[in-house]
Amino acid sequence: MGKRALERRLSAVADFADPQVELEQYATPADLAAHLVHLADVHHDVAGRTVLDLGTGTGMLAIGAATRSPRRVVGLDRDGTAIEQARENESHVAPETPIEWVVGDATRAPLCRKNLRAKSVDSAESTELTESASSVTVLMNPPFGAQTGNQHADRAFLETTSAIADVSYSIHNEGSLDFVEAFAEDAAADVTHAFRAELPLSRQFEFQREERKVIDVEVFRIEWR
Ligand SMILES: C[S@@+](CC[C@H](N)C(=O)[O-])C[C@H]1O[C@@H](n2cnc3c(N)ncnc32)[C@H](O)[C@@H]1O
């Protein structure tokens, strides 16, 4: 399946029904999600691997990855309502690989490289992720912190990623290049790809004046060691 076909499939993913401003809940658009997943697939970062979508929200990135023959896909969000919606979105798109949905905080233990334990919404059982260190890909569109005055809220997501992934694809707000490169350098990681993209935001919150606003974002592929 090509990028365009994936974008068409992902257009069935419904937006947040009741977005929470403090969690920065806006969906990754289908075209950007398809681009990210396609790029990851071309780099052999999806098929046969564990893919973890941190801050999965509507499930857009996890669902996209689940169409590309991963070994396992986990979508994690701290908001149980979003996870329920992601689950419903999964049933609309019907990706070939079933997704494990987990309610949990992406920025806190026990999410760690060898062992991810968190309760899924419909099970009291722990979800364990015990992978070899070289097979975990993180895809994420984390909160930026720009609107909530919590500058670089994405730092905590990067910290988690550095502990559990060997490669990641992440979306950050415009002007993040220096921050992401410095973070990667400190972690002895390599930013192998960086490109700009546009993120259309429809009016969700009262403080947003325009019906639709397009913001510039930056996307990074990072190899962690
Ligand atoms: C910008 S949205 C991305 C949504 C998602 N990628 C999508 O396309 O629908 C950020 C997401 O991160 C989640 N989130 C915020 N803080 C979190 C945390 N500490 N742990 C897990 N998820 C978090 C929010 O609930 C929201 O769904």
The pLDDT assigned to 145 comes to 80
Q: Which pLDDT score is estimated for 129?
A: 52
56 alpha carbon – ligand 1 mean position (Å): 6
The pLDDT assigned to 160 comes to: 93
Residues 213, 199: Cα–Cα separation, whole Å: 8
The conformational region for residue 178 under phi > 0 = left, psi -120 to 50 = alpha, else beta, is: alpha
Q: How far, in Å, is the centroid of ligand 1 from the Cα of 50?
A: 19
**pLDDT surpassing 80 at residue 209:** no
- Determine the structural domain holding residue 31 and report its residue range: 3-223
CATH code, domain with 9 = 3.40.50.150
Report the pLDDT averaged over residues 20-24: 88
Strand-pair partners of 222: 168, 191
Contacts of range 148-154, beta carbons closer than 8 Å, 24 or more positions apart:
148/21, 148/22, 148/24, 152/179, 153/24
**pLDDT: which is higher, 120 or 195:** 195
Query: Looking up tokens 């999600």, which residue turns up?
Result: 33
pLDDT value, residue 112: 54
Pairwise CA distance, residues 189 & 108, whole Å = 21
Which residue is it, tokens 């309610």? 103
Residue 14 has pLDDT above 50, yes or no: yes
Site to probe by mutation for ligand 1, drawn from 22, 52, 53, 78 as the one with most ligand atoms within 8 Å of Cβ, is 78
What pLDDT, in 10s, does the model give residues 26-69? 899 999 999 999 999 999 999 999 999 999 999 999 999 999 99
Which residue puts its alpha carbon closest to atom 24 of ligand 1?
23
Higher local confidence (pLDDT), 66 or 114: 66
Beta-sheet strands, E only, within the chain: 50-54, 72-77, 99-103, 118-119, 126-127, 136-140, 167-173, 190-202, 212-223
Contacts of 57 (CB under 8 A, 6+ apart): 16, 25, 26, 27, 28, 77, 79, 82, 86, 141
- pLDDT score at 149: 66
- CA–centroid distance, 120 to ligand 1, in Å, is 16
Does residue 106 have its Cβ closer than 6 Å to ligand 1?
yes
CA atoms within 13 A on the CB side of 58: 25
pLDDT at residue 144, as a whole number: 87
Q: Is 24 in the pocket of ligand 1 (CB under 6 A)?
A: yes
Residue with tokens 């722990």: 126
Q: What order of strands is seen across the sheet that includes strand 212-223? A: 99-103, 72-77, 50-54, 136-140, 167-173, 212-223, 190-202
- Tell me how far apart the alpha carbons of residues 198 and 176 are, in angstroms, rounded to a whole number: 14
Q: What is the pLDDT of residues 149-192, one digit of tens each?
A: 677 789 999 999 999 999 999 999 999 999 999 999 999 999 99
**Rounded CA gap, 153 and 146, in Å?**
8
State the total domains in the chain.
1
Instruction: Choose which residue among 13, 25, 217 to substitute to test ligand 1 binding: the one with the highest number of ligand atoms within 8 A of its C-beta.
Output: 25
Secondary structure of residue 118 in the 3-state scheme:
strand
Distance (angstroms) between ligand 1 centre and the Cα of 187 equals 23
* pLDDT exceeds cutoff 60 at 203: yes
Nearest atom in ligand 1 to the alpha carbon of residue 140 is: 6
